Chains A and B, each alone.
Chain A
């Protein structure tokens, strides 16, 4: 199953293989786009043969859509959220390195000039704060990754992590408070 491959690439990237991300992105690109609130296809009140084909064409780029059953896609959402975190952090690191190093070459992930330093900085501080929180509470970190990086709803997060909605809600609140505090601390240290 394709998700295994993605999981492996993700692990490779997380443990420092920078090439892994380049292989990952095309595999999940469209689904990531969807998660960034882009709709692949508009609502159709009736699916004719031709529109069904259109839907398939749009989904073709999703990993092995035909072979993943509907429920398992939540598993994929979890992975995609982590990938989103990796992509953003990777992106932020590269951007900042370029700014410092004066290397004007663009990162190939699309438009770059519009992003302010502040936001890049925010991504990195959240990422580092999450690394700290990881030591205290792994589940809270997973909730934050789904909610914040993956853009999943509380409900989707619950299904993705296979925990109850109230648990997600509690974890999310506390993690937010914890990160808020952590970020304001690190901000004061700067």
Chain B
């Protein structure tokens, strides 16, 4: 049988049988095929071999991303050696962890020979807001300048939204390994630990909290110096302090919480402060001195861990050895070995620790932040007191205080346990999330779950591992658990309503966690099921559409997101007087898309509607209301009413002024908007002031070389050019173009506009010698990406011709002008009319200067014809 000689009819039949058979269980397929093929042996054989082939792994399931990227010269995320990230070139891979990968790198421009550690984080920051926070935090961290803290040199976000940091490259060992390897005595360990406290104290004075102090983040170099790694990285990635209210913007929180070192307040997701670091220092010291961690969290269930860390009193350092000695499961040799490493016999160690050291460490480990040492410095001071045989300031925890606290805290037990549970699940997954987000996600889940008894069981089933050991092991990840939930839901085909709800719950949990790729199909499936059942709750459906749209928007799929927003709007609009935050958000986002598509009228009315709805629902001082005011202002400006625009900008400024710090990207953006409107009202002084101040803010936040700073700078350059101040415009453009050409990638979006601006500037200022090369570059840049008859290409060519005319390069000017006229000739579009006229004018001038009157005559009459038509 020859496959490709199959008849159409046969093929159609085969297609049907294949698709139907796929829906059946394995053991039912064969029988079905034989029955359906109706004796056609070719079809039977075809169907069977195809089904078999379907089950094998397919090349087609792994699209050739790698080849595609290479074929298109793209950035490859898997092979990084030799790759460039920012101005750094990766030399070697150092390690991969949950948060991302660490590479050895150096400056690509060879400016410095220094080798650095480059951390490329796994989680993408996809919203501009997130990126802005990240960069802002990075700059604060870069101000840490201490011999015991690994310096943060640089950081940024790749085009794919992956944040990266460049830090001092430190070779050394984690502090606990170092101490054991060198068999340091207790006193030596304490001395070394004092250096750690000093470094932490320095950062605390700058109000920077580490949040993840643990032995692997404290490296000791060969020469015995301490270096703290990853200072504040957790915070830099987590923006919730700034925009707590907006769940949508905070999904990428990423706290690398290590349960064994986490403070009770971190476990509970409460405010983290400098005393949280004091707690973590306490855990590290405990481990350094005893070889054990204060709490044994291994093999425990999440609620047990929450109980242990938030409620249990830690074993006194001096007693942990005895406790371990008496535990049958621990091999004596191991304990003896640990003690020997500290050059002590068991009895000696106990005696040494008992008393002051016990009290000092336990003081740092207090559950209540305000009852610990209130700074790393105080902690260090007490250690120094101990080393100098002075009395320590720490005092014992009283039993009564403890039990009182214990009882009052148990009332709130259940939900905290649940939060810890999910947080731990997330911890075991490759990416960890901040507990705040986790709690929000769980809250969502709970809220949804409360809708039906069955859903509660579902949620329980989802989070209950069959085997307690499994729950803590490496194998169970958040994904596994959520996937388990999906699997459960998939078995519920006969109860579509519940099934839809379940998909929706898991989808929303994924959405909350910022996993849009996962969220999307689930939300989609849930909605499809609901639609199939008929009579869905329409508002709920609209909310789902909005969510789908937002998920797509986050992924950068604007077409899709637009489609869903429109669908959401269709439904919302069909209810008279319906008001909701989702409705307002849908309007706002759709309006933005309309604005980009230059449908200003629609953008305007939608923005207004969104504004009033937000005012109504969120009050007058919500940042979203500010955004709406700004957007309405922008649409006023675009539709030719700058005076009204300014009124709205003012209202936005009032709201931003209250809610944002003085130097905030939103404020800078607003200033640029204002300046443009002011320019049109001929209020140049004010406009200039705003532009300068916006540029200062952007430079401060993003640094000199960021695109946003460049945009701001270009706006200022344009301002000077438009107001005829060539002397001021020129250096701005020149500086900008040098940054773009030397520091940024060649394909930078600002390259073409700035090149064009320089050409125009020199041309307008009667400096054709200088203008020529810029104008040439502009035409090259434009014609490399646009079709030859595109108006922008023609305009650029016309300008170049004008310039050449002034330089008396008549031949080339003629060629160009005739080319422009030829390309524009067939176009009926209005934009071409002015290009044609300009070109005709110039060509007439050219021939007149060139003394070719005949030709001048011809084109002159063509020009008159054109005028006559109008």
Q: Which residues of A contact B (CB under 8 A)?
A: 2, 5, 26-27, 29-30, 32-33, 36-58, 60-61, 63-64, 66, 70, 73, 84, 87-88, 91, 109-112, 114-115, 119-120, 122-123, 126, 132, 135-137, 144, 147-148, 151, 155-156, 170, 173-174, 176-184
Contact = CB atoms under 8 A, between A and B. Distances in A.
Interface in B571-586: none
Contact of B787 (A57, A64, A66, A120): A64
A41 B526 CA distance: 30
Contacts of B750: 57
B58 A176 contact: yes
B118 interface: no
B71 interface: yes
Given A45-B249, A173-B54, A110 B72 contact: yes
A179 B638 CA distance: 53
A33 B49 CA distance: 37
B631 interface: yes
B22 to A, nearest CB: 6
Given A26-B784, A181-B49, A49 B637 contact: yes
A62 B72 CA distance: 15
Contact of A33 (B72, B673, B753, B784): B72
Interface string B559-599: 11010000000000000000000000000100010011110
Given A45-B127, A46-B631, A50-B711, A181 B50 contact: yes
A173 B79 contact: no
B126 interface: yes
Q: Max chain A CB contacts within 10 Å: which of B51, B60, B73, B752?
A: B60
Given A46-B592, A132-B4, A110 B73 contact: yes
Contacts of A88: 64, 67-68, 71
A46 B53 CA distance: 49
B554 interface: yes
Q: How large is the interface on B (under 10, 10 to 19, 20 to 34, 35 or more residues)?
A: 35 or more
Given A50-B669, A132-B3, A173-B19, 5 more contacts: A39-B160, A48-B634, A119-B66, A174-B15, A184-B53
10 contacts: A38-B75, A50-B711, A54-B711, A58-B749, A91-B67, A147-B60, A174-B19, A178-B53, A180-B60, A183-B59
Contacts of B785: 26, 29-30, 60-61
B79 A174 contact: no
B126 A43 contact: yes
B441 interface: no
A14 to B, nearest CB: 18
Secondary structure type dominating chain A contacts: helix
Interface string B30-68: 000000000000000000011111101011110111111
Contacts of B707: 54
B63 A109 contact: no
Contacts of A114: 66, 70, 76, 79
Contacts of B786: 60-61
A137 B671 CA distance: 59
Nearest to B597: A70
B533 interface: no
Contacts of A57: 749-750, 752-753
B18 interface: yes
Nearest to B829: A67
Contacts of B562: 70
A7 B598 CA distance: 27
A15 to B, nearest CB: 22
A150 to B, nearest CB: 9
Contacts of B752: 57, 60
Interface string B778-789: 000000111100
Given A48-B630, A51-B669, A109 B50 contact: no
A48 B631 CA distance: 7
Contact of B129 (A45, A47, A51): A45
A108 B147 CA distance: 48
B469 interface: no
A179 B58 contact: yes
A129 to B, nearest CB: 10
A170 B669 contact: no
B68 A36 contact: yes
Nearest to B7: A136
Given A48-B630, A70-B597, A42 B161 contact: yes
A120 B52 CA distance: 26
B278 interface: no
Given A46-B592, A136-B6, A178-B50, A119 B67 contact: yes
B11 interface: yes
B128 interface: yes
Given A33-B72, A109-B71, A48 B672 contact: yes
B464 interface: no
B504 interface: no
Contacts of A38: 74-75, 159-160
B69 interface: yes
A140 B164 CA distance: 42
Contacts of B50: 174, 177-178, 181
Contacts of B787: 2, 5, 27, 63-64
